[in-house]
Structure 1
């Protein structure tokens, strides 16, 4: 079980919830490589995003679409307060106000570039995706994290719940293998419930080994990240499942304004359209 210990007190950074460059976990970029920034313009204000060089496929794809004007006049079509704001669906450009959005794409996906050092703090820019085993990203849809602040106990419980779900999934996948299913079916057909039970129980150590191999750092925690989730906030439940490829440098207050807009209950679409224009800086 993961244990989250309270970090050793450190000198407080000024305005940690706004000036993100003071946070210790900040990713260090090579001086030899330019850092690309983009500007997201909305009627609620402007957001400046920095794209990570550590996720080149997502960075380059986003830059390509921005250059093409792909995002101009698209909507932030899914907005959930204390969670995130999502946009980039090409179907949103000329959509009717009653239309349900979120399924539009550009005909391709981007291979996952999930990096443990790039996490879902408030202001993180990440790629949306459908449910696929490779965790490949949508070619165009993205979200910006608003999230909320968490206590140590809440973070510890969340980590444990996530790992429990992962272990159950590994065990389920093991059960679904043809050889295992054939063995279980044969034992059940024999009518010997005790032998069947013992065989199923014997699968647990194998599942534990597979879990450890698949998630070698599942019980490890980054104390700097824990501190950020306590002070700045975010959505730690998404870590490891979606590619984070940038962060907000200015405009966190704009995210808060958009996230608080009234939405339709059925799909979290804002009742009033929130259009964007994105340009390179």
Structure 2
């Protein structure tokens, strides 16, 4: 029994040490702005984004660039090389280093306040959700009560079901049902049409591989306390977190902006590797 307890304690100690070591080994960057400094930890779970960001920081790529897109209650965005010395009022946001980075999604890395994430082109032209080589955003977001998060879950699930219904009806194996539903639509027999939709929905949700969307306990705690932008999870790569200077995000986000969401007074940045 004594040996068992000792082994258990050793295992717990090793696990704790490993976790602490992983956290201690995270690279840190200081991002300086006219409103103060932020210290950002980069995640080892997203090595491609981490290494690319460190390379750009070391090469001075970000120095003198602007936070060119700022939306209060949402996020602050920068990293466009065209923003360096850009004339006032110029629309920015299309510049980059000439390459993209493959998405690195991890369900444990979420868009809570202070999250550092990669900007990217939209799904229509970028279905693989590849990240911009240099543009990033830092989440401000909002605190969301659990009731609101539950409403978001219902909304996400309904969107998912609608998408799956559409895929079901496009399947040649279900052509007969689609013909029936199209005829009901044409005849404006909406009650019977709704019955058909409900039947298809039941088929979809009863399938063994169907999983309804549900926020994790980690997400619920983060978004209901510090806040964030949960609707971006799984769509954009989160690769770091502001661990000091969250108030700087609020100061930048509060700046007046023009019709392109660019701050009227330039908000510049300087970055340096501090670990």
Fold conserved between structures, TM > 0.5 = yes
Unaligned runs of 5+ in 2: 1-18, 187-192
Greater Rg, structure 1 or structure 2?
2
Match of 1:24 in 2: none
- 1:223 to partner: Cα distance: 1.9
Match of 1:249 in 2: 243
Specify whether residues 145 and 194 from structure 1 end up closer, same or farther in structure 2 by C-alpha distance, changes over 3 A only: closer
Q: Distance in 1 between matches of 2:151 and 2:110?
A: 18
- 1:116 to partner: Cα distance: 1.1
Taking structure 2 as the reference length, what is the TM-score of the superposition?
A: 0.78
Specify whether residues 180 and 62 from structure 1 end up closer, same or farther in structure 2 by C-alpha distance, changes over 3 A only: farther
Matched, 1:193 2:187: no
Give CA-to-partner distance per residue, 1:56-79, whole Å, 9 cap, x none.
111011111111111111110111
- 1:105 to partner: Cα distance: 2.0
Taking structure 1 as the reference length, what is the TM-score of the superposition?
A: 0.76
Aligned-CA RMSD value: 3.1
Size of the aligned set, in residue pairs, is 246
Match of 2:62 in 1: 71
Specify whether residues 169 and 217 from structure 1 end up closer, same or farther in structure 2 by C-alpha distance, changes over 3 A only: closer
Specify whether residues 217 and 70 from structure 1 end up closer, same or farther in structure 2 by C-alpha distance, changes over 3 A only: farther
Matched, 1:229 2:229: no
- 1:85 to partner: Cα distance: 0.4
Give CA-to-partner distance per residue, 1:8-32, whole Å, 9 cap, x none.
xxxxxxxxxxxxxxxxxxxx46549
Give CA-to-partner distance per residue, 1:131-161, whole Å, 9 cap, x none.
1322221111111111111111111111221
Q: Spell out the pairing of 1:35-184 with structure 2 (5 A cutoff).
A: 35-132=26-123, 133-173=127-167, 179=172, 183=175
Match of 1:270 in 2: 263
